[in-house]
Amino acid sequence: MAKTKGHTATLNSGCWHPHIREEFMTCSQDGTLRLWLTESPKQHKHVIKPRQQGGLKTNPTACAFSRDGNTVACGCFDGSIQMWDHRKNYVNTTAVLRDAHQKQSEISCISFSYLGSSLVSRGNDDTLKIWDLRNFRKPLHAFGNLFSRYEQTDCGFSPDDS
């Protein structure tokens, strides 16, 4: 996969870097996140491969940059949330939560708070969860019975983080 010039399957999500105008990220059914520069759109800058517990690949279904641009995060088909430091080489994750959502319940959206201390995730297990990034083990709040009819169901914070 890393030797291909682009994704080899359907795109699931994409977003722009919050500070570097020429950089964006996409994630795909081919099991990769890719970082791109608009100056060279035919060749990715970096390839990131999320993994399930045990090392098997999992498909990233949602992706986001932190507001300061230093963290890359993805929600995956296996219900996990995985993060990497954008300033490093993406070999090792900086944070992984394997059971963020129900197993095999893809995450349709993740979004960082404006202050950067929280993350919200929306899963096809009909839940929305707010996470404290300083203690990334259990959600601060979990809202259930939120019917998720579409794979593109979105989530986000208000500009004042309320």
Alpha-carbon distances of 18 from 21, 24, 76, 114, 156, rounded to whole Å:
7, 9, 22, 11, 15
In a domain, 104, yes or no: yes
Which pLDDT score, from 0 to 100, does residue 53 have? 85
In a domain, 158, yes or no: no
* Mean pLDDT (the chain, rounded): 90
pTM for the whole structure: 0.90
In a domain, 1, yes or no: no
In a domain, 154, yes or no: no
Q: What is the tens place of the pLDDT at every residue in 91-146?
A: 789 999 998 998 888 899 999 999 989 999 999 999 999 999 999 999 999 999 98
In a domain, 2, yes or no: no
* CATH code, domain carrying 68: 2.130.10.10
H/E element, 56 = none
Q: What is the tens place of the pLDDT at every residue in 35-48?
A: 999 887 677 889 99
Name residue, tokens 């300033």: 87
In a domain, 45, yes or no: yes
Q: What is the tens place of the pLDDT at every residue in 49-85?
A: 999 888 889 999 999 999 999 999 999 999 999 999 9
In a domain, 6, yes or no: no
In a domain, 153, yes or no: no
| Full domain range(s) for residue 79 | 11-143
Domain count across the chain: 1
